[in-house]
A = this chain, B = another copy of it.
């Protein structure tokens, strides 16, 4: 069931029902443009990660500004994006299961679709599905470049998978997926630089072995919001996949930036109402079902002197911080909560409420919300 939007166009922000997921459009558009300008200057393609927003209306804006297409993580997400008008989607993930492979092949008849592999079983299932659907598919071999999740360990395994692909005329070897997620959240610039250098060494080694084997690698794709400048400057990656840059979040706010780095602005927050001040606390109407806490509690810029003490299913609890006097805040006040982690927070909502100058300007449905399979 999709809920009605918690706002209507033209409404003032203070009239929006809560909890609501707000996008400050000026900051959002600034971020969209800043990333594209940086990528253009560095000469790399941009394929933004749509798992952040799950929203074709946003994906279309990214493509309009020059993105070659988008990434996502799930077949169902890709379906929602193609349904929403995106015609080039890379699933930066491994697909296992006959039903999923069939859906992926069906989708590849409607749009350019890519997918990653790191195991022979995935290639076998994809081969059966594209043969049945008589459609081509771009297949990227994922390298583990330090993330410690999916990805083959080196060139030998990668070459074996490509040999398996080459026996399948409908599966095209499209390049390397080389994404280092952990590196995005290392706090210091030199830590991030070291991590990306390590990733780069792994990619370069594989590229050399592929060259020696006479196999062209059309694309090296990867990178995220925390490190995209490093990969873009490397001359190894020719496509970057940042997602969070459009919104940012409290966790990314804890990264220390290089002095010359452009700063993305926070554009996303959950609007929440103070529903009680029982016992000298402030109780918010937004809890674990309105924002994720896997990367810590939300940041509350408008509540100086208050600290986030606890989140339960539908409540947030703020206590006075000991260090500073707490600003008096009345029951009924609406507060902005900048989530710890934007991606899983977005997945809890059905609508982005776009606001400019304190007035609701857009309502974008999050059509891939819950697209988990």
Contact = CB atoms under 8 A, between A and B. Distances in A.
Interface in A328-373: 331-332, 341, 343-344, 347-350, 365, 367-373
B76 A3 contact: yes
A144 interface: yes
B294 A293 contact: yes
Q: Please give the count of copies of this chain that the complex contains.
A: 2
- By size class, the interface of chain A is 35 or more
Interface string A1-43: 1110010000000000111100000000000000000000000
Nearest to A371: B3
A181 interface: yes
Interface string A286-306: 101110111000000000000
A321 interface: no
Contact of A1 (B2, B6, B150, B344): B2
Interface stretch (A191-199, A210-218, A248-256, A277-285): A277-285
A73 B17 CA distance: 16
Contacts of A20: 373
Contacts of A281: 148-149
Interface string A96-135: 1101100000000000000000110110000000000000
A322 interface: no
Given A150-B283, A370-B369, A312 B96 contact: no
Contact of A370 (B73, B311, B348): B348
A200 interface: no
A315 interface: yes
Interface stretch (A58-66, A170-178, A229-237, A268-276): A268-276
A372 B80 contact: no
Among A96, A152, A281, chain B packs the most CB atoms within 10 A around the CB of A96
Given A1-B80, A373-B6, A283 B343 contact: no
Given A286-B372, A331-B119, A314 B93 contact: yes
A18 B51 contact: no
14 contacts: A3-B76, A96-B274, A96-B276, A96-B285, A96-B331, A96-B332, A97-B332, A119-B275, A119-B277, A149-B312, A150-B276, A286-B372, A288-B344, A289-B372
| Closest A-B pairs by Cβ, 7 of them | A73-B314, A96-B275, A94-B275, A288-B344, A150-B276, A1-B367, A289-B347
